[in-house]
């Protein structure tokens, strides 16, 4: 099926225009962060900064707590992803191998957990965290995020485990593996792409949270995550758009990089449970 | 291991259709126990942080609670919150805004998502890169996305107004966030930008699982591009489209970050969805009972919508 020349040109043009439109906000973030303050309000706007101002980033590190916010976000995201992965690997494995009949109910349950409005859950959780003394502590966020990740992560991993033939563990167990050994030494290595995709999903979910951070951590500026910090910071530095955009870019960067590396796995991972 | 050499007990449950159990572990009973044990950590987390708070929220909604506290047990049960809710015009406004947003954002996101997936499913050089880039907004945190859009939408110096003026679409700069319709459009724009990549990712995976033979056979039978799309691509995509639709609907309905940072629900309630109103009532006015009642109503509506959608697409979804 050979394409005619005009068809090829049309295809490439469409792809380029589509990507340009979708990526424009990201591009604008980069350009604005490098703009000297004076040309932020230039008319017409400068689409390429004539004189890139890298010191905006240095100013950002000195004047704001962005590095601490990013560290807090990283701690929360790693811990929440870690906890939820342990729970989701075990649960997904169990659903795939032991509870094969109930998987339809599990699907509905996962859907149900997606239906719970976080804005409702957060009202009692606010009281619970306060009586546990976790208000302002990163732990409140870690548990909330881990729970938000578990249902969908379980579903994704179950899909992966379903695609691994049973005979693999059976062979391992005939060779003397315990059921645990079979899971950790045989199944998990085979499911590595699935684990990568699911972890990325969890990390992105945790890193993006604003609602829980805003509600649990607002009173303790030391434990702010990057989204909370930037939202507050935006309120203070209303007009310093170059600084605000530099901070935004830094906040998005870790996730964008992880996404670029793991995107291949993600495509299969998200639909592993659903698309069969 | 040992049971390979021992004769099977006559009482072994023959009901089990799959051969999963018996062989692997000493007895099927133990295998089941292990199965439940593996579920335990996930179940505990979900019970503690999803189910218990949900029940608590339902309980709070029947009490007249003003502050964020768990010591409401002494107060008596009352329907006051619900009565007040259904009599409030703000509530009906929020229902209307949520419904409008749901229809507009979901339909546009699904169309854009499908279009993008079909585009990057074509054969061309650099396809991998295009696939990666077109779904990039998925990876950008909502708050960061919204703040970037706030700058793009800036009434005086925003680049969007400049482009629209240059193209002659508008005669005067639009003050995007201070008028009802532009504010609603701005929320729609940001939500579609943030939401369509997930749909694209799902649909792309669906497209890749359609066997190429189907298309070859159709081509032999003389079906043109459009017919191949209607009779092969769409039916094969139905499961994925169903899941994407349900997940997108629930996302739009419950989203907080985008609207909160972009418009805060304003101007004059034009973008105040149920989720935004719930949070405002709880954490700006500290009417916890009232806010919980709002949350419960939101939950019920979510449940009804997804029950309806799952029924419509049930053969496809699970």
B42 CA to chain A: closest CA distance, Å? Answer: 5
Domains: count for chain A: 1
Tens-place pLDDT, residues B187-200: 999 999 999 999 99
Within a 13 Å sphere around the CA of B210, how many CA atoms are in the beta-carbon half? 22
B310 falls within a domain:
yes
B211 falls within a domain:
yes
Contact (CB<8Å) A147/B50:
yes
pLDDT score, position B71? 64
Considering CB atoms only, which of A100, A144, A248 is closest to B148? A248
**Closest among A147, A129, A121 to B69, alpha carbons compared:** A129
Contact (CB<8Å) B1/A26:
no
pLDDT score, position B126? 85
Q: B202 to chain A: nearest residue by CA?
A: A271
Tens-place pLDDT, residues B159-183: 898 889 888 888 888 888 888 999 9
pLDDT over 70, % of chain A: 92
- Dig out the tokens for B38 from the structure: 């593996």
Interface of A with B in 33-92 (CB under 8 A): 40-41, 43-45, 83-84, 86-88, 90-91
Eight-class DSSP state of B256: -
User: With 60 as the cut, is the pLDDT of residue A1 above it?
Assistant: no
The SS3 call for residue B124 is coil
Residue B112 belongs to what domain range? 80-317
pLDDT score, position A101? 66
B241 and B174: one domain? yes
Mean pLDDT of the residues in chain A: 84
User: With 80 as the cut, is the pLDDT of residue B5 above it?
Assistant: no
Tens-place pLDDT, residues A140-168: 999 999 988 998 888 888 888 888 888 88
Least confident segment among A133-137, A199-203, A251-255, A267-271? A267-271
B165 and B306: one domain? yes
Contact (CB<8Å) B41/A45:
no
B293 falls within a domain:
yes
Buried b (16+ CB within 10 A) or exposed e, B182-212: bbbbbbbbbbbbbbbbbbbbbbbbbbeeeee
Alpha carbon distance B275, B254 (integer Å):
6
For residues A76-100, average pLDDT: 88
Residue A97 belongs to what domain range? 58-271
A45 falls within a domain:
no
User: With 80 as the cut, is the pLDDT of residue A266 above it?
Assistant: no
B35 and B132: one domain? no
Domains: count for chain B: 2
User: With 70 as the cut, is the pLDDT of residue B30 above it?
Assistant: no
Q: What distances in angstroms separate CA A264 from CA A241, B184, B274, one per listed residue? A: 34, 35, 36
* A145 exposure class (CB count in 10 Å sphere: 0-12, 13-18, 19+): buried
User: With 90 as the cut, is the pLDDT of residue B185 above it?
Assistant: yes
Instruction: Provide the whole-model pTM.
Output: 0.85
ipTM of the complex: 0.87
User: With 60 as the cut, is the pLDDT of residue B27 above it?
Assistant: no
Last residue of a domain, one of B61, B91, B106: B61
* B280 in contact with A, Cβ within 8 Å: no
User: Would you say B22 and B16 are in contact if contact means Cβ atoms under 8 Å apart?
Assistant: yes
Alpha carbon distance A26, A29 (integer Å):
5
Identify all chain A residues contacting B1, using CB atoms and an 8 Å cutoff: 173-174, 176
Instruction: Phi first, then psi: give them for residue B170, nearest 5 degrees.
Output: -125, 155
pLDDT score, position B317? 43
Give the pLDDT band of residue B313 (cuts 50, 70, 90): low
| A193 vs B31, higher pLDDT | A193
A48 falls within a domain:
no
Alpha carbon distance B66, B47 (integer Å):
26
Identify all chain B residues contacting A12, using CB atoms and an 8 Å cutoff: 124
Considering CB atoms only, which of B162, B256, B306 is closest to A111? B306
Within a 13 Å sphere around the CA of B33, how many CA atoms are in the beta-carbon half? 6
pLDDT score, position A139? 92
B106 falls within a domain:
yes
B67 falls within a domain:
no
For residues B285-297, average pLDDT: 90
User: Would you say A9 and B122 are in contact if contact means Cβ atoms under 8 Å apart?
Assistant: no
Q: A80 to chain B: nearest residue by CA?
A: B45
B100 falls within a domain:
yes
Alpha carbon distance A155, A198 (integer Å):
10
Interface of A with B in 189-208 (CB under 8 A): 204, 207-208
pLDDT score, position B28? 55
pLDDT score, position B202? 87
CATH number at residue A147: 1.10.3720.10
B13 and B110: one domain? no
Give the pLDDT band of residue A189 (cuts 50, 70, 90): confident
Alpha carbon distance A138, B175 (integer Å):
39
Interface probe, candidates B29, B132, B143, B291, chain A, greatest A C-beta count within 10 A = B143
Q: A145 to chain B: nearest residue by CA?
A: B49
B124 and B234: one domain? yes
> What are the strands, taking DSSP E only, across chain B?
none
Eight-class DSSP state of B64: -
* A104 in contact with B, Cβ within 8 Å: yes
For residues A206-214, average pLDDT: 92
Give the pLDDT band of residue B73 (cuts 50, 70, 90): low
CATH number at residue B161: 1.10.3720.10
Alpha carbon distance A275, B46 (integer Å):
25
- Dig out the tokens for B147 from the structure: 């703040």
Torsion of CA A160, A162, A163, A165, to 10 degrees: 130
Tens-place pLDDT, residues B81-133: 898 889 888 999 999 999 999 999 999 999 999 999 999 888 888 888 888 88
Considering CB atoms only, which of A143, A211, A275 is closest to B206? A275
Contact (CB<8Å) B31/A98:
yes
Q: What distances in angstroms separate CA B272 from CA A10, B7, B100, B182, one per listed residue? A: 41, 68, 11, 14
B57 and B153: one domain? no
pLDDT score, position B148? 93
pLDDT score, position B17? 37
B44 and B127: one domain? no
A184 CA to chain B: closest CA distance, Å? Answer: 13
Interface of B with A in 147-186 (CB under 8 A): 147-152, 154, 156-157, 159, 162, 166
pLDDT score, position A243? 87
B282 falls within a domain:
yes
Interface size A-B, in CB pairs within 8 Å, comes to 301
Measured between its terminal Cα atoms, the distance across chain A in Å is 29
Interface probe, candidates B15, B120, B139, B260, chain A, greatest A C-beta count within 10 A = B139
pLDDT score, position B286? 85
A29 falls within a domain:
no
Identify all chain A residues contacting B149, using CB atoms and an 8 Å cutoff: 25
Q: A238 to chain B: nearest residue by CA?
A: B151
Mean pLDDT of the residues in chain B: 83
Tens-place pLDDT, residues A27-45: 999 998 888 877 777 777 7
Three-state SS for chain A is CCCCHHHHHHHHHHHHHHHHHHHHHHHHHHHHHHCCHHHHHCCCCCCCCCCCCCHHHHHHHHHCCHHHHHHHHHHHHHHHHHHHHHHHHHHHHHHHHCCHHHHHHHHHHHHHHHHCCHHHHHHHHHHHHHHCCCCCCHHHHHHHHHHHHHHHHHHHHHHHHHCCCCHHHHHHHHCCCCHHHHHHHHHHHHCHHHHHHHHHHHHHHHHHCCHHHHHHHCCCHHHCCHHHHHHHHHHHCCCCHHHHHHHHHHHHHHHHHHHHHHHHHHHHHHHCCCCC
Interface of A with B in 125-154 (CB under 8 A): 125-128, 130-131, 143-144, 146-147, 150-151, 154
The SS3 call for residue B6 is coil
A112 CA to chain B: closest CA distance, Å? Answer: 7
B239 and B288: one domain? yes
Identify all chain A residues contacting B257, using CB atoms and an 8 Å cutoff: 208, 210-211, 227
B74 falls within a domain:
no
* B95 in contact with A, Cβ within 8 Å: no
Most confident of A103-117, B108-122, B213-227: B108-122
Contact (CB<8Å) A230/B143:
yes
B32 and B172: one domain? no
Sorted by sequence, the CB contacts under 8 Å of residue B25 that are 6+ apart come out as A179, B31, B34
């Amino acid at each position: 099926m050979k394409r005619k020349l005009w068809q090829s040109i049309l295809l490439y043009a469409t792809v380029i225009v589509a990507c340009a439109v979708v990526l424009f906000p990201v591009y604008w973030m980069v350009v604005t962060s490098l703009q000297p303050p004076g040309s932020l309000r230039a008319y017409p706007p400068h689409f390429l900064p004539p004189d890139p101002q890298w010191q905006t980033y240095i100013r950002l590190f000195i004047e704001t707590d962005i590095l601490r916010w990013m560290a807090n976000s990283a701690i929360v995201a790693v811990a929440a992803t870690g906890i939820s992965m342990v729970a989701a690997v075990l649960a997904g494995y169990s659903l795939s191998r032991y509870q094969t009949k109930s998987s339809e109910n599990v699907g509905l349950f996962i859907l149900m957990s997606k239906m719970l409005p976080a804005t409702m859950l957060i009202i009692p959780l606010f009281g619970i965290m306060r009586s546990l003394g976790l208000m302002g502590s990163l732990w409140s966020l870690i548990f909330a995020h881990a729970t938000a990740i578990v249902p969908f992560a379980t579903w994704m991993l179950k899909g992966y485990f379903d695609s691994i033939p049973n005979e693999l563990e059976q062979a391992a167990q005939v060779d003397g593996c315990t059921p645990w050994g079979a899971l950790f030494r045989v199944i998990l290595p085979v499911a590595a792409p699935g684990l990568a995709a699911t972890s990325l999903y969890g990390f992105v979910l945790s890193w993006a949270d604003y609602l829980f951070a805003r509600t649990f951590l607002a009173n303790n500026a030391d434990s702010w995550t990057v989204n909370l910090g930037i939202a507050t910071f935006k309120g203070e530095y209303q007009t310093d758009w170059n600084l605000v955009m530099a901070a935004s870019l830094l906040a998005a960067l870790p996730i964008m990089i992880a996404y670029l590396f793991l995107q291949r796995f993600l495509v299969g991972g998200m639909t592993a449970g659903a698309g069969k | 291991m040992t049971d390979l050499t021992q004769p099977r007990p006559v009482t072994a449950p023959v009901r089990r259709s799959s051969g999963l159990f018996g062989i692997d572990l000493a007895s099927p009973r133990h295998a089941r126990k292990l199965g439940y044990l593996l579920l335990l950590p996930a179940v505990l987390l979900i019970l503690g942080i999803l189910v218990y708070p949900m029940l608590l929220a339902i309980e709070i909604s029947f009490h007249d609670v003003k502050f964020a506290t768990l010591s409401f047990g002494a107060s008596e049960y009352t329907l006051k919150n619900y009565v007040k809710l259904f009599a409030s015009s703000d509530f009906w406004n929020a229902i209307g805004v949520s419904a409008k947003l749901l229809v507009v954002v979901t339909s546009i996101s699904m169309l854009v998502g499908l279009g993008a997936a079909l585009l990057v499913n074509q054969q061309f050089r650099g396809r991998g890169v295009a696939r990666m880039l077109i779904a990039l907004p998925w990876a950008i945190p909502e708050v960061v996305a919204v703040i970037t859009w706030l700058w793009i939408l800036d009434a005086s110096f925003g680049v969007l107004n400049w482009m629209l003026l240059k193209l002659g679409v508008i005669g005067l700069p639009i003050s995007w966030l201070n008028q009802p319709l532009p504010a609603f459009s701005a929320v729609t724009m940001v939500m579609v930008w943030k939401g369509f990549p997930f749909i694209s990712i799902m649909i792309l995976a669906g497209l890749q699982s359609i066997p190429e033979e189907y298309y070859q056979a159709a081509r032999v039978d003389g079906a043109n591009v459009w017919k191949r799309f209607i009779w092969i691509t769409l039916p094969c995509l139905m499961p994925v489209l169903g899941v994407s639709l349900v997940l997108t609907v629930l996302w739009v309905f419950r989203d907080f970050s985008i609207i909160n940072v972009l418009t805060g629900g304003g101007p004059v309630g034009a973008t105040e969805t149920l989720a935004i109103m719930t949070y405002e009532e709880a954490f700006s006015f500290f009417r916890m009972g009232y806010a919980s009642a709002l949350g419960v109503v939101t939950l019920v509506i979510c449940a009804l919508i997804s029950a309806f959608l799952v029924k419509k697409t049930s053969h496809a979804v699970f």
